Amino acid sequence: MIRRVAGILATIVMLVIVVAAVAWGVLAIWFDGPHSRMLAAPMAAGLAIVSIVLAAIVRPLLRGLVVALFPVIVVALWWTSIPPSNARDWTPDVSRTARVTFDGSRVTIENVRNFKYRSESDYDQRWETRSCDLDRIKGVDLFISFWGPTEIAHTIVSWDFDNGQHLAISIETRKEKGESYSAIRGFFRQYELYYVVADERDLVGLRANYRGEQVYLYRISATPAQARALLVDYLNEVNQLADHPEWYNALTQNCTTAIRGHAQNIGVGGSLDWRLLANGHLDELLYERGQIDTSIPFAELRSRSNITEKAKAAGDSPDFSARIRQGLM
């Protein structure tokens, strides 16, 4: 009796796995397969039909379900072999990749974005070369920006130097001309991973002033040494991507999970938590872990951290970074 129940449970579990795997395979072919829908559609349907037939004719059923995974494995092997590229017809805002040169504590960064915006799509392109001294880093901040749903947000990390300089890095999708972001496509091989190394007026001002997003700024409880190590890890990845592009993935390699990866690389990454995926609650997680200011109730901290109106008022001001930080803890 126990063996029979165990067999039934195993079959049910395997059925769920097969259904999920086949659904993924169908979508992988649809999104990442032939550009022609006249080819992609029958190939995707063929995968589903072959898996169903194998599950139906191979007995016992549990073995049939295992065999039904074989076509999906073939699709997965093909899918993982699709190469990312740095040579596409990119939109202007992601057309250049940053590159970093280290000279002791002195760092020179090419292609720092500092666009002058008139609207989200109308701007003057300004790509700059900037230098900074790693010994002058005093802290690191986190921006959380909401464009609509409060469960999901975009995160940006910015480093604070003791001379008033700030350097922001946003982990995003690198889109081609005519391409827009899709949450579903983000789970497949549709977008390359892109690190926007930029002025805060660019990254934060764009979101607050022209995209209508609500932006929050939190100061992270990190030592200057930790902040420095984090920036170095980021900049090493910037160079890596310039030479060896990678795919963005909405689950495993996004704006927040990548931040955690960098934190883990320097030994300060925390344990996994659902709020790393539902990152609209990331500030709650950081508060619980004592990684942002806990001297006041969280609700009050969150209210003070909303810098949206400050960013709008600062506009294109040269002291943008100082103005958005006025009144912060």
pLDDT digits (tens, 9 = 90+) for 82-108: 999 999 999 999 999 999 999 999 999
Same domain, yes or no: 96 and 42: no
Q: Could you tell me if 229 and 266 lie in one domain?
A: yes
Same domain, 230 and 304: yes
Residue 85 lies in a domain: no
Q: Is residue 308 part of a domain?
A: yes
Residue pair 292/221 in contact (Cβ under 8 Å)? The answer is yes
For residues 153 and 284, membership in a common domain is answered with yes
Which residues in the chain show pLDDT less than 70? Answer: 329
Decide which of 80, 108, 126 is a domain's last residue: 80
Residues 177 and 75 in one domain: no
**195 part of a folded domain:** yes
Query: Are residues 35 and 106 both part of a single domain?
Result: no
Query: Omega into 71 within 30° of 0, i.e. cis?
Result: no
Nearest CA-CA partner of 132 in 165, 86, 87: 165
The maximal CA–CA distance of the chain, rounded, in angstroms, is: 75
Domain boundary among 47, 80, 113: 80
What residue numbers bound the domain in which 318 lies? 92-324
> For residue 329, is it within any domain?
no
Q: Are residues 131 and 193 in the same domain?
A: yes
- Report whether 123 contacts 115 (CB < 8 A): yes
Give a yes or no: residue 269 inside a domain: yes
The predicted-structure confidence for 31-71, as pLDDT tens digits, reads as follows 999 988 889 999 999 999 999 999 999 999 999 999 999 99
| Statement to judge: residues 68 and 107 lie in one domain | no
- Give the integer Cα–Cα distance in Å for 303 and 79: 44
Instruction: Give the residue from 108, 282, 141 showing the smallest Cα distance to 218.
Output: 141
Residue 243 included in any domain: yes
Same domain membership, residue 18 and residue 116? no
| Co-location of 195 and 222 in the same domain | yes
Considering the domain architecture, whether residues 35 and 182 belong to the same structural domain is answered as: no
Asked if residue 86 belongs to a domain, the reply is no
Return the pLDDT at 5. 72
The pTM score is 0.93
Beta strands 127-133 and 99-103, pairing class: unpaired
| Domain final position from 80, 112, 145 | 80
Please give the tally of structural domains in the chain.
2
Is there a single domain that holds both residue 111 and residue 31? no
